[in-house]
Chain A
Amino acid sequence: MIALALNFAFCCFGLALLFNLYRVIRAPVLTDRVLALDTMVINMIALLVLFGIKLGSGMNFEAALLFAMTGFVSTVAYCKFMLRGDIIE
């Protein structure tokens, strides 16, 4: 039963990643692209944790944590650049 639910969740997050990719490529305003990239990182974290459950190993959590941190910093950098034209003033 867990294997079935796991596959379902894999499909859902994979489809969500495709939606986000479409939004990155075609977006009405620039902030949507940044938001879509941020959501992509979040979906990637979910996929990594699901992969950890599938393999039964705790190795993936460090990768997920690093993804979370770099994703947050990159989104803040993008937004700061759009707001100020510079990242570190």
Chain B
Amino acid sequence: MPLIAEIAISVLLVVAGLFGLVGSYGLLRLPDAMTRLHAPTKATTVGVGGVLLASMLYFAVNGSVSWHELLIALFLFLTAPITANLVAKAHMHREMSQGELPDSDTGRVWATFERPGAPIAPVLTSAAPVESAKS
């Protein structure tokens, strides 16, 4: 294996390990739940991403290129924001009240606090009032 590839793989592994550690340490140390949500996202992106990149490089240099890592990385990068969004919504629903949150900018309350069984209406997010089709 050429020296430059060895150095690149080692650096990627060390950086990935440090970021994974920092991400999980942040989960322990940050002060409140919404900020704690922030730390493990870095562990996903740089930590696992670095490990997968190192693995790809290692197997490419050894003669057998594998695309599995790319698949895993793609899947993780797609699902990490969805997970974070759902955890944040669950936290809003369980721990926060109407007064603690900023205005939703839609003229309605946040969906979490809406009365169960309320009629579902389309939410217009634009600031300007939209002309209705009848007039």
A residues engaging B (CB < 8 A)? 1-2, 4-6, 8-13, 15-17, 19-20, 22-23, 28-32, 34-36, 38-39, 42-43, 45-46, 49-50, 52-53, 56, 58, 61-62, 64-65, 68-69, 72, 75-76, 78-80, 82-83
Contacts and interface: CB of A to CB of B under 8 A. Distances in A.
Interface stretch (B59-67, B102-110, B126-134): B59-67
B76 A42 contact: yes
B69 A61 contact: yes
Interface of B: 6-7, 9-11, 13-14, 16-18, 20-21, 23-25, 27-28, 33, 36-37, 40, 43-44, 47-48, 51-52, 54-55, 58-59, 62, 64, 66, 68-69, 71-72, 75-76, 79, 82-83, 86-87, 89-91, 93-95, 112
Contacts of A65: 68, 71-72, 75
Contact of B20 (A4, A12, A78): A12
Given A9-B13, A42-B48, A58-B66, 11 more contacts: A1-B10, A2-B6, A2-B10, A13-B47, A31-B94, A36-B27, A39-B24, A43-B20, A43-B24, A79-B83, A79-B87
